[in-house]
């Protein structure tokens, strides 16, 4: 009996080892997976070398180390932080101003057919207008101050939130609405206990897209209509041919955008916990 047991166990060990090999083979090479995160670093090194060797024109593509130098300079002088905060505050205020009406109107039009039929064409026809194209008009109306920046960001953000909320609400399975009605929920209660939670994943998609959009819009607006902010920093570097500074502006904007989206991802996992299952 004992010998049989031993044979079985050793067979099992052998099979387990074979299974592990098979699973590993399916996951692909360890080497490539470990290397993945370092590819951008490798590309930066290539850039540095090519720029120093003169293969790349250093006037347009200054070596990354030179950009880092400028970055530190701007950071120490406080200029970078001031500009970044300026841009961020414009985005934050504009975002809230655009997101709240976008969400509420999306909820309304998504759930009330008659209002949707009446008003949707208005928003659909306004959607394709490039938001930056109305900036001169906003400058005329609101002047060169902060208000015009808030408004242009708000307009951009509004459309993302509005259309994503509306389509999320419209996809709500009728059964959920029936459940709420059978439990005696009023119209308003149904909007906030059924339509809104059902649309939340779609709303978060809207929030993330809106964030990207807001950075594009604010950068373009600061090019022409501002004396501060990261967009202004990039634009003014162009006119003084300070190419390194331009890169600092670009990298900072993209880092801030990435950070904002990551933060929203965290928020989403907290507020939409059921989606991961």
Partner 1 sequence: MSGLSVRNLWKAYPSAESKDDVLVALEDVSLEVREGEFVCVLGPSGCGKSTLLRIAAGLEKPSLGTVETPSRPSVVFQEHGVFPWLTVAENIAYPLRLRRVPRAQRAARVAELLDLVGLTEFASYYPAQISGGMRQRTSVARALADDGSVLLMDEPFGALDEQTRVVLQQELLRIWEQTSKAVLFITHSVDEALTLADRVVVMSHRPGRIIAEVEIPFGRPRDIIALRRDPRYGEITYQLWNLLERDDAARDDDEEVAA
Q: Residue written as tokens 């928020």? A: 267
User: Which of 25, 41, 133, 175 lies at the binding interface for partner 1 (CB under 8 A)?
Assistant: 175
CA pair distance 216, 214, nearest whole angstrom: 5
Q: Which stretch binds partner 1 (CB under 8 A): 1-9, 64-72, 188-196, 202-210?
A: 188-196
CA pair distance 83, 227, nearest whole angstrom: 10
In a 10 Å sphere around its CB, with 0-12 CB exposed, 13-18 middle and 19+ buried, how is residue 80 labelled? Answer: buried
200 binds partner 1 (CB under 8 A): yes
CA pair distance 55, 49, nearest whole angstrom: 9
C-beta closer to partner 1: residue 62 or 110: 110
Number of chain residues interacting with partner 1 (CB under 8 A): 20
Question: At 54, phi and psi to the nearest 5?
Answer: 85, 5
Shortest gap between Cβ of 202 and partner 1 (angstroms)? 13
Binding mask 256-275 for partner 1 (x = CB under 8 A): ----------------xxx-
What string of H, E and C letters represents the secondary structure of 182-201?
HCCCCHHHHHHHHHHHHHHH
Angle among Cα 199, 277, 186 to the nearest 5 degrees reads: 35
| Contact set for partner 1, span 154-173 (CB under 8 A) | 173
Q: How far is CA 27 from CA 13, 30, 44, in A?
A: 21, 8, 29
User: Which of 71, 95, 198, 235 lies at the binding interface for partner 1 (CB under 8 A)?
Assistant: 198
178 binds partner 1 (CB under 8 A): yes
Shortest gap between Cβ of 274 and partner 1 (angstroms)? 5
User: Which of 1, 182, 188, 266 lies at the binding interface for partner 1 (CB under 8 A)?
Assistant: 182
Angle among Cα 159, 225, 252 to the nearest 5 degrees reads: 75
User: Which of 74, 151, 194, 217 lies at the binding interface for partner 1 (CB under 8 A)?
Assistant: 194
124 binds partner 1 (CB under 8 A): no
Shortest gap between Cβ of 194 and partner 1 (angstroms)? 7
Judged by the rule CB under 8 A, the positions of this chain that interact with partner 1 are 173, 175-176, 178-179, 181-185, 189, 193-194, 197-198, 200, 272-274, 277
């Amino acid at each position: 009996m004992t010998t049989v047991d031993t044979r079985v166990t050793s067979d099992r060990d052998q099979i387990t080892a074979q299974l592990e090999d098979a699973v590993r083979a399916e996951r692909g090479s360890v080497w490539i997976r470990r290397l993945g995160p370092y590819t951008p670093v490798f590309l930066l090194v290539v850039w540095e070398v090519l720029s120093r060797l003169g293969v790349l024109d250093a006037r347009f593509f200054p070596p990354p180390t030179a950009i880092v130098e400028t970055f530190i300079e701007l950071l120490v002088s406080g200029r970078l932080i001031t500009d970044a905060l300026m841009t961020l505050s414009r985005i934050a205020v504009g975002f809230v101003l655009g997101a709240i009406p976008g969400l509420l109107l999306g909820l309304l039009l998504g759930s009330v057919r008659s209002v949707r039929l009446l008003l949707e064409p208005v928003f659909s026809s306004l959607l394709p207008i490039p938001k930056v194209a109305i900036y001169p008009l906003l400058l005329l109306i609101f002047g060169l101050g902060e208000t015009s920046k808030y408004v242009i960001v708000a307009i951009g953000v509004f459309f993302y939130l509005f259309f994503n909320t509306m389509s999320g609400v419209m996809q709500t399975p009728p059964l959920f609405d029936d459940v709420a009605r059978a439990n005696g929920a009023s119209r308003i209660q149904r909007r906030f206990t059924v339509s809104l939670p059902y649309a939340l994943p779609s709303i978060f998609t809207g929030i993330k897209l809106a964030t990207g959009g807001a950075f594009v819009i604010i950068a373009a607006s600061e090019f022409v209509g501002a004396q501060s902010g990261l967009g202004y920093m990039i634009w003014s570097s162009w006119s003084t041919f300070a190419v390194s500074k331009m890169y600092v502006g670009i990298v900072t904007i993209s880092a801030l955008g990435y950070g904002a989206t990551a933060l929203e991802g965290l928020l989403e996992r907290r507020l939409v916990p059921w989606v991961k299952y």
